[in-house]
Amino acid sequence: MKYVKPANQEDYPEEELTGRIIGAAIEVHKNLGPGLLESVYQVCLAREMSLRKIPFEAEKQLPITYKGLSVDGGYRMDFLVEGKVVELKAVNELAPIHFAQLLTYLKLTNSKVGLLINFNVNVLTEGGVRRMAN
């Protein structure tokens, strides 16, 4: 699924755009609550971002090259939103490996900002959203 930004839509400053993404995630969480599969939140967040006209690419394939060798590991980022990586989780608690995964995605895509969003919390704004910079 891909939403393409209309040609006349202005670009959003970095903080405003991440705020809009977080707002969309909050709306999904308010409507669905915790306890569902990550894939459900992914589809619903894609719908919410489309409704809010936030341009994104869902399940963006992550090319990996090692010393000139292209490695097809089937890695896909949940979302790429104008150069920002958005990784979703539905886990009891974020673990260090989740942060490491997002940092790796930031490095591999040359992105500066990433959001790690865990939907399996009571209140999304209380520990469910983490912003990382590369």
pLDDT tens track for 3-56: 444 433 345 456 789 999 999 999 999 999 999 999 999 999 999 999 999 999
Alpha helices in 33-132 (DSSP H): 38-51, 96-109
Question: What tokens were used for 119?
Answer: 């939907």
pLDDT of 50-106, one tens digit each? 999 999 999 988 888 889 998 887 789 999 999 999 999 999 999 999 999 999 999
- Residue 126 neighbours by CB under 8 Å, 6+ apart: none
pTM (2 decimals)? 0.86
List, in sequence order, every residue forming a beta bridge with 2; answer none if it has no partner: 57
Contact (CB, 8 A) for 43 and 69: no
Number of independent structural domains in the chain: 1
- Domain span at residue 107 reads 2-133
